[in-house]
Chains A and B, each alone.
Chain A
Amino acid sequence: MVASTADPALDGVARRAIRDVFPLYLPTVPFALVLGVAMTESAMPTNIAWSTNIVFAGAAQLAMVTLAGTATWLTLVMTAVVINLRHVMYSAAMAHHFRDQPRWFRWVGPFVLIDQLFALTARRSDLDPPLWRRYYLSAGLFLLVTWVIGVTVGIAVGSAIPTEWRLDIAPAVMFGGLVVLGLTTRPMALAALTGAAVCFAGLGIPNNGGVLLGATAGVIVGFLADKASDRTASDRSATDRYGGAA
């Protein structure tokens, strides 16, 4: 797919993409390993669990693999879909980068549009369309290939590590860390707290229904808190403007 070219700018950009994506790639290594280990403990046969790689979304994959034993089909699918809803946001933010791209790339490119690639490429408006395409694909393919390798290594390692090491708890620790890293604003913290609290209260709901209930409640609370903080901010600036002198 990546044809060799005489244009030195195009050749350089692939290397630069991989160098730039490296700091974002590093945290995916333990994630892939944890996922691989979880696959060996999943209710799904390991090779089927491995094929969740076609979803190429770590959190959703981990949810599917760990829920397989206890959730209904519908809860499992819904939970994974909800986790991946955030990609709609990325798709919206990236649409203008794809507008001047060839049709094949508009179809193929989104397949690898994961959090890390979005963070890396969304702001690269300095590259012209062919360079941007090469940059995006190089980083995206690098992330995809290393991800699948990491998961596969995790499966190999996972079946060798004794259960006393309690690697079964690693997915929960992983998710907890991801939540904390994602909290940049107060409404986000409120959304996360609500999601956790409502899910906890709803643990008795059959088929892991508490997850979707907690997610819904968390989104509503985060959304409302966001709206409220907008209002407070505009009130404050109004006070600054009109009452600041007093």
Chain B
Amino acid sequence: MTTAAAIAAIVVVALITYVSRAGLIVFLADRSIPADVTRALRYVGPAVMSALTVNLLAGGQGISGVTGQEVAAVAVGGLVAWRTKNLILSLAAGMVTIWIIILVT
């Protein structure tokens, strides 16, 4: 990706993000969105974020890019997030996991 393309991408994303934040506040303050749309929007976060997690693990190399130590780090991080509800602990646990695996193997 060229620098110009990257800048264009950032500007476009920034504009669309602003519109999605401001749209109903600035332009449609008296209208509401259909209940089914709100219901669907609730699932955008979990769906896209978990897909991205898998995609980051693959690192753009397809299924062969997914390594055991990385999966272990993400799994431990997820487990700690679930048990503690604490993002900082989750990140720390995931990173310590991969350091231990690297040291041991």
A interface list, Cβ under 8 A from B: 26-27, 29-31, 34, 43-45, 48-49, 51-52, 54-57, 59-60, 63-64, 66, 68-71, 73, 76-77, 79-92, 94-95, 98-99, 106-107, 109-111, 113, 164-167, 169-183, 187-189, 191-196, 198-200, 203-204, 208, 210-219, 221-223, 226-227
Contacts and interface: CB of A to CB of B under 8 A. Distances in A.
Interface string B35-67: 010111111111111111111111110110110
Could you tell me the dominant secondary structure of chain B's interface residues?
Answer: helix
B15 to A, nearest CB: 9
Interface of B: 1, 3, 5-14, 16-18, 20-26, 28-30, 32-33, 36, 38-60, 62-63, 65-66, 70, 73-75, 77-78, 80-82, 85-88, 90-91, 94-95, 98-99, 102
A69 B24 CA distance: 34
Contact of A222 (B14, B42, B70, B75): B42
18 contacts: A34-B91, A73-B1, A88-B24, A91-B24, A92-B38, A94-B25, A110-B18, A110-B26, A167-B95, A175-B49, A177-B78, A177-B81, A189-B46, A196-B53, A203-B62, A211-B55, A214-B55, A218-B51
Given A48-B10, A86-B44, A107-B26, 15 more contacts: A68-B6, A76-B1, A86-B45, A89-B42, A92-B33, A99-B30, A110-B21, A167-B95, A174-B77, A174-B87, A174-B91, A179-B46, A208-B60, A222-B47, A223-B43
B52 A175 contact: yes
Contacts of A219: 40, 43-44, 47
Contacts of B38: 89, 92
Nearest to A69: B60
Contacts of A180: 78, 81-82, 90
